[in-house]
Amino acid sequence: MSTSTGASLEAKLQAATSIYTKLESDYARAVEARQLLDAQKTENEAVKKELASLTEQNKVYKLVGPVLMKQEQSEAKHNVDKRLEWINDEIKRAEAKLKDVGGKLEEKKVEVRSPALTLSPSPPERIHVSN
């Protein structure tokens, strides 16, 4: 293998490795976003359960800045339902992104491990000496 071919392969391997590292980072961020959405969903489901157990006499307050403001139960329930709907839509988007980035990550892993890009030592060139 000539030096220029070796340098070319090394450059290709470097580029593929760089893309792979970026995809790993993107995947980690997508996992983190998905976990955050799960936490928000759990929290909102707990609020929905609490609101469902209230009677007509119970009062509901909403924190707006530093002030607690009275809110109608029906409005609070509606807001929580809308929030859960939004979270579920975001979870679907996050899962699609995880699948997409995960697929690209696997493709790039195969490319990086490809024998065509690995830098195996080339056999020594034969030198012919004539008399």
**DSSP for residue 71:** E
Can you give the pTM of this predicted structure?
Answer: 0.75
How far apart CA 43 and CA 83 sit, in angstroms, is 11
CA angle 36–37–41, rounded 5-degree value: 120
Tokens of 6: 């070796």
Q: Which amino acid is at 124?
A: P
Q: Choose between 109 and 31: higher pLDDT.
A: 31
**Residues forming a β-bridge with 64:** 67
Residue 128 vs residues 83, 125, 131: alpha-carbon distances, Å: 78, 10, 10
pLDDT tens digits for range 61-114? 999 999 999 999 999 999 999 999 999 999 999 999 999 999 999 998 888 887
CATH class of 3-113: mainly alpha
pLDDT tens digits for range 14-24? 888 899 999 99
Contacts 24+ apart (CB under 8 A), 90-95: 90/37, 91/34, 91/37, 91/38, 91/41, 94/30, 94/33, 94/34, 94/37, 95/34
Domain ranges of the chain: 3-113
Is the per-residue pLDDT at 120 higher than 60? no
